[in-house]
Copies of this chain bind each other. A is one copy, B any other.
């Protein structure tokens, strides 16, 4: 269902807001006026969107601020030649409502949503910064493991067959099904393009030319990524965030907030968990490129690998705890696992379920890594390494790790085997033909 189609006949009320329009619009919303304080004419408004898709305005008044996000009918990064449905703002809002109900302190509070304008006004996150930038600066975040594991355990568990009835889940799947233009971006840019010649691909040339060519010829990888793509397209395990990288997380020392769930739909849980872990592993292997003196970031890097381990371990612990205490879904009916023996067998199956989920997570973490080095959209973790050869060295390490994770996922049985593999590659020196 295209949400735009729901509006009454006649000209669409959608228009791209400029600063003046926005000021006028917000002045008509009592809740926003109260949040901002002071006279509308005195509000400061600045457009700060540095993502690829939307407009983002920071509005500040006498007593407070709001962030206003408006979808554009095209991909901002590219322009009108790449149209993208406004309805993504509708799905983002639905996902935010889901997440706010389950993890209220871990997402920005929604203050106002306007469907026809594809606009959402949210709590302004201050002094939070994008986590990726903090990691590049070697800042560690003591709350992160606990917060992100809570966010994922609760949002994923409570939209799964373990927690919800099949009928309710089918209605949920249907409600997000038409967000497929956003899914298509993922399907192409993550699961297909990095493994073939695609105009939008780029990499740190010439150093990675041979590696990119090898990935395009690596049929084992092509089978593995194709299986992951099928899983992405047809495994509605939970309502996933869909784009849970460290650029979608804002942090301070004491707070974590997940933003930008416009890619949300019912998909495989491992895609979210793998996104977090893959991006942390990239931060780890990019770290060497940000050193001014050898070893100066060693403590930070050790912390990062602890975080990788903690993210999975704590996620699994919390997810299992929810499964043990709040399993009211149609999966694994309690009546089939009664008594002491039944409880023990179900617990063994829970562990087996987590092992299967871990395998998927490892695969998706690898997929997220490869696309950021050989595909269209790159991470500043690597991009901000000014020395191109040094950048390519860091990227080659990450690609080597990712290839191993994707092809040998079953041999990575615990998260410690993953961090071990990353640590082993920290000082590996690739040989570039050029």
Known contacts A192-B335, A219-B337, A345-B222; is-contact A183 B166 (Cβ 8 Å): yes
The number of times this chain is found in the oligomer is: 2
In A162-178, the 8 Å CB interface with B consists of: 166-167, 169-171, 173-174, 177-178
A338 nearest CB across to chain B (Å): 8
* Contact of B225 with A336 in the complex, beta carbons under 8 Å: yes
Report B-chain residues with C-beta under 8 Å of the C-beta of A180: 166-167, 170-171
Select from chain B the residue with minimum beta-carbon distance to A227: B349
* Contact of A230 with B192 in the complex, beta carbons under 8 Å: no
A142: interface (CB < 8 Å): no
In A298-343, the 8 Å CB interface with B consists of: 330-333, 335-337, 341-342
Known contacts A219-B337, A235-B235; is-contact A229 B170 (Cβ 8 Å): no
Select from chain B the residue with minimum beta-carbon distance to A223: B349
A260: interface (CB < 8 Å): no
Cα separation A341 to B216 with both chains bound (whole Å): 12
Select from chain B the residue with minimum beta-carbon distance to A331: B230
Cα separation A196 to B335 with both chains bound (whole Å): 7
Cα separation A155 to B194 with both chains bound (whole Å): 32
* Contact of B166 with A170 in the complex, beta carbons under 8 Å: no
A205 nearest CB across to chain B (Å): 21
A184: interface (CB < 8 Å): yes
A181: interface (CB < 8 Å): yes
Report B-chain residues with C-beta under 8 Å of the C-beta of A196: 333, 335-336
| Tally of A interface residues using CB under 8 Å | 43
* Contact of A184 with B171 in the complex, beta carbons under 8 Å: no
* Contact of B349 with A161 in the complex, beta carbons under 8 Å: no
Report B-chain residues with C-beta under 8 Å of the C-beta of A330: 187, 229, 233
Q: When each residue 219-244 of chain A gets 1 if its CB lies under 8 Å from chain B and 0 otherwise, what string results? A: 11011011001100111110000000
A195: interface (CB < 8 Å): yes
Cα separation A234 to B172 with both chains bound (whole Å): 12
Cα separation A349 to B228 with both chains bound (whole Å): 13
* Contact of A192 with B336 in the complex, beta carbons under 8 Å: yes
Cα separation A134 to B163 with both chains bound (whole Å): 44
Report B-chain residues with C-beta under 8 Å of the C-beta of A230: 161, 331-332
A173 nearest CB across to chain B (Å): 6
Report B-chain residues with C-beta under 8 Å of the C-beta of A174: 1, 173-174, 177-178
Cα separation A181 to B332 with both chains bound (whole Å): 19
Report B-chain residues with C-beta under 8 Å of the C-beta of A222: 336-337, 342, 345
Report B-chain residues with C-beta under 8 Å of the C-beta of A229: 330-331
Report B-chain residues with C-beta under 8 Å of the C-beta of A332: 226, 230
Cα separation A421 to B1 with both chains bound (whole Å): 49
In A15-66, the 8 Å CB interface with B consists of: none
Please pick, from B161, B173, B219, B331, the residue contacting A177 in the complex, using a CB distance under 8 A: B173
Report B-chain residues with C-beta under 8 Å of the C-beta of A183: 166-167, 170
Report B-chain residues with C-beta under 8 Å of the C-beta of A235: 234-235
Report B-chain residues with C-beta under 8 Å of the C-beta of A177: 170-171, 173-174, 177
Cα separation A173 to B1 with both chains bound (whole Å): 12
Report B-chain residues with C-beta under 8 Å of the C-beta of A336: 192, 195-196, 222, 225-226
A180 nearest CB across to chain B (Å): 4
* Contact of A345 with B184 in the complex, beta carbons under 8 Å: no
Cα separation A222 to B166 with both chains bound (whole Å): 19
* Contact of A166 with B178 in the complex, beta carbons under 8 Å: no
A36 nearest CB across to chain B (Å): 39
Please pick, from B167, B173, B195, B219, the residue contacting A173 in the complex, using a CB distance under 8 A: B173
In A133-178, the 8 Å CB interface with B consists of: 161, 166-167, 169-171, 173-174, 177-178
Known contacts A177-B171, A236-B236, A237-B234; is-contact A333 B192 (Cβ 8 Å): yes
Can you list 22 A-B contacts with CB-CB less than 8 angstroms, sorted by A residue number?
A: A1-B174, A161-B234, A167-B180, A169-B233, A170-B178, A171-B177, A171-B180, A174-B174, A174-B178, A177-B177, A187-B330, A196-B336, A219-B337, A222-B337, A223-B345, A223-B349, A226-B332, A226-B336, A226-B349, A229-B331, A234-B235, A235-B235
8 smallest CB-CB distances across A and B, nearest first, come from: A174-B177, A219-B345, A167-B180, A174-B174, A222-B336, A170-B177, A196-B335, A170-B180
